[in-house]
Structure 1
Amino acid sequence: MNPRQPPAPHRPTVEEHPSTAQDGARQSRRRAETEGENQMASKAEKIVAGLGGIDNIEEVEGCITRLRTEVKDASLVDEAALKAAGAHGVVKMGTAIQVVIGTDADPIAADIEDMM
């Protein structure tokens, strides 16, 4: 087909073709999922930093809206950094630290476990 020649009336253009529109929607969904995963990983990295680094974390568990963690040295935990990473609150009980982060707790805990 000549690019200068208009398409025949019975043929849809590339943009109008149903499979092209569906492919575009699929790509948009995949891109959004990937961006969401990257944001989640970035949030997990910031939380790890706020907890004193990966070497300071002994255990992590997602519990509905909280990350329940056990750290080696509680003095390395930076509450301001955790709040800057998106935490709504931090509860310290010795070396047991709970980071209130909302419904992302389980996926973030999984990301942190993958880093350990």
Structure 2
Amino acid sequence: MATKAEKIVAGLGGIDNIEEVEGCITRLRTEVHDASLVDEAALKAAGAHGVVKMGTAIQVVIGTDADPIAGEIEDMM
């Protein structure tokens, strides 16, 4: 079974689509190569409370576990 971090990576279009990821208090702040590959429904199914898109900057609202999840994603990169 995929971890929450793996599901979020898939929702962001895969590890190769993620240029940068940073955790803050409740959000994953990411920069992706191709925003059209981001699947908001998949991110919400992975537990995201919301998704904010600003061009290739994507914020995934996931709650207080954002920072540890960002660390897991960085380890995958």
Higher relative contact order (CA 8 A, sep 6+): 2
The residue that corresponds to 2:57 in the other structure is 96
Q: State the identity %.
A: 95
Secondary structure of the residue aligned to 1:103 is coil
Contact 1:66 1:100 in 2 (8 A): yes
Q: Tell me the TM-score normalised to structure 1 length.
A: 0.65
Which ranges of 4 or more aligned residues in structure 1 deviate by more than 6 Å? none
Q: Deviations over 1:61-87 (max 9, x none)?
A: 001000000000000000000000000
Offset, 1:58 = 0.2
| Cα-Cα RMSD | 1.5
3-state SS of the aligned residue for 1:41? coil
The change in CA–CA distance for 1:41 and 1:65 in structure 2 (over 3 A counts) is: farther
Shift of 1:41: 7.2
Gaps of 5+ in 2: none
- Write the deviation string for residues 10-44 of structure 1: whole angstroms up to 9, x where unpaired: xxxxxxxxxxxxxxxxxxxxxxxxxxxxxx97000
Between structures 1 and 2, the one with greater strand share: 2
1:76 and 2:37 aligned: yes
- 3-state DSSP of counterpart to 1:80: helix
The structure-2 alpha-carbon separation of the partners of 1:105 and 1:68, relative to structure 1 and needing over 3 Å to count, comes to same
5+ long unaligned stretches in structure 1: 1-39
TM-score (norm 2): 0.98
Change (3 A) 1:41 1:105: farther
Between Structure 1 and Structure 2, the one with more helix by share is 1
Distance of 1:41 and 1:84 partners within structure 2? 12
1:77-112 residue CA offsets vs partner (Å, 9 max, x unmatched): 000000000000000000000000000000000000
Is 1:52–1:77's contact at 8 Å kept on the other side of the alignment?
A: yes
